[in-house]
Amino acid sequence: MANKRQAWGTRLGIIMAVAGSAVGLGNFLRFPVQAASNGGGAFMIPYFVSLFLLGIPLMWVEWTLGRFGGGFEHGTAPGIFHTIVQKNRFIKYFGVIGIFGPLVIFIYYTYVESWTLAYSFFAITGRYAGANTQAAMQSFLKGFQGLESNQYFSNLGPAYIFFLITFLANITVIYYGIKGGIEKLCNIAMPLLFAFGMIIMVRVLFLGTPDLSKPAWNLVNGLGFLWNPDFSALKSAKVWLAAAGQIFFTLSVGIGVILTYASYLKKGDDVVLSGLTAVSMNEFAEVIIGGCIVIPAAFVFFGPAGTEAIAKGGAFNLGFVTVPLIFGHIPAGAFFGCIWFLLLFLAGITSSVSLAQPAVAFLEDEFNVSRKKSVTILGIAAFILSQPAIFLLGKGVVNELDFWGGTFCLVVFATIEVILFAWVFGMEKAWQEIHRGADMAVPKVYKFIIKYITPLFLFCILGFWLYQDGIPTILMKNVSLADRPFVLGTRVFLIFIFIVLAVMVKIAWSKKRGRKVS
């Protein structure tokens, strides 16, 4: 007996869920670092170009393809791609990327997400209060991660406990389904997230000049550090690639998650306005809230040289070293530290549950496995697969998972999607499908953009990557000799996961052919 497919409860619910998928740790940690390191305000030019030529078109493509595939009871890329090109029996294997990418991200993202829950607890209990320098806070983080044994932590035990709590929270939400789990979570988490963000942003905007002996270290100059443009940076292809990568990362396009979420829509549900609303919520969280908190606050307390060093130190240092030190300088710092890390946790969990959903939907739709059994299978598999990311964090494993699962696969999958949508499905038919049930019309220029500009842009990104970084990355040129065995092992691990998923796709379609024959 076939399982009845789930559905969203309300239009607001699906918007909140897609926005929750998009609004993640990258909005508040990765974006400020990328902007500050790539020309400041000049970075926003390629950023918004990428948003209008890549992000928004791909968002509409994925919402439309997902809703279309859902009408045939397919909620993941293999089934949706097969529905579009039924005559080509190999096309569904390209769709494996849309399950593989989210699963790979999920197995390390959940661990990083658990750090935010731990740090919210540490903030309110004063656990890291004694670490009042960059070096001390760095040592605290490394001890927590199990990278060293020190005065703060002697083993990985505390981190593992918070991982177990976070992992179980994710699986519980997914267990209760689309409406009862994911939608309910996002309807509560997203308003809380924005409330916490606004509280922290307002507090930062009223920091003033704490050190009167250094009047130039003020908020206005701090905002200028992030937003004043260095137009010479626009000559660098690296800046344009960084901006395009941030749009992919922040909107969760090219992963396969939106395809799955949109598959639970009804045939006449609006994808144009809903998709645009989700994009707008994400951009508000990233550009307005994310851009007005960390870098400006760091400038006020650490000055231009210190802030530049912080930006170059990466997102982890920014979120887990610099921010606790900043809040340690202000009244009620424990409270602000707690809600900062709770904000990150809410952003993380609304994203991670979306990453798990494609694998669950694949089991439900293609193997007719019940929701409870699908979640149990995913939970066991994901828990086992997560262990290398936890215990081999310092060996380059997470970086490798993040690159292949969370960067490379995104661009490749997005390229496949837009070509199938505009050139195989057909732009005329696709344009009609986008506007089915729509309350507003997409500007006609996007017909040209989706068919020509977006795929060309994607090919350029892939081409530049292959030219600039492809061979060195494949040959592990930037990996230390000590870490190379672990990185190579991670690649074998990833190939194994991909092959298993491809075999599962083959088995699923073989069973379907068998049922048709009988």
Q: What are the pLDDT digits (tens) for 329-351?
A: 889 999 999 999 999 999 999 99
β-partners of residue 200 are: none
- Secondary structure percentages of the chain, helix, strand, coil, to 5: 80, 0, 20
Sequence-ordered list of residues with C-beta below 8 angstroms from that of 66, at least 6 positions apart, any chain? 75, 80, 258, 259, 260, 261, 262, 263, 265
Q: Which residue has the higher pLDDT, 474 or 142?
A: 142
**Rounded CA separation 325/138 (Å):** 11
State the pLDDT confidence band at 171, using cuts at 50, 70 and 90: very high
Q: Is the pLDDT of residue 16 over 50?
A: yes
pLDDT at 302: 86
Q: Which residue has the tokens 């379907």?
A: 512
pLDDT at 515: 59
**Out of 83-97, 257-271, 422-436, least confident range:** 83-97
pLDDT at 354: 96
State the pLDDT confidence band at 275, using cuts at 50, 70 and 90: very high
Average pLDDT for 228-232: 84
Q: Is the pLDDT of residue 48 over 90?
A: yes
Q: Is the pLDDT of residue 170 over 80?
A: yes
Q: Which residue has the higher pLDDT, 504 or 248?
A: 504
pLDDT at 1: 46
pLDDT at 271: 94
pLDDT at 518: 45
Q: Is the pLDDT of residue 112 over 60?
A: yes
CA distances from 260 to 64, 134, 185, 318 (A): 11, 42, 17, 32
pLDDT at 432: 96
Average pLDDT for 172-198: 96
Q: List phi, psi (to 5°) of 54.
A: -120, -60
State the pLDDT confidence band at 517, using cuts at 50, 70 and 90: very low
| Mean pLDDT, the chain, integer | 91
**Rounded CA separation 160/144 (Å):** 9
Q: How many secondary structure helices (H) and strands (E) does the chain include?
A: 28, 0
CATH of the structural domain 11-517, one choice from 1.10.10, 1.20.1740, 3.30.160, 1.10.3470: 1.20.1740
pLDDT at 193: 96
β-partners of residue 233 are: none
- Is 256 within 8 Å of 58 (Cβ atoms)? no
Q: Is the pLDDT of residue 109 over 90?
A: yes
Q: Is the pLDDT of residue 9 over 60?
A: yes
pLDDT at 2: 55
pLDDT at 252: 85
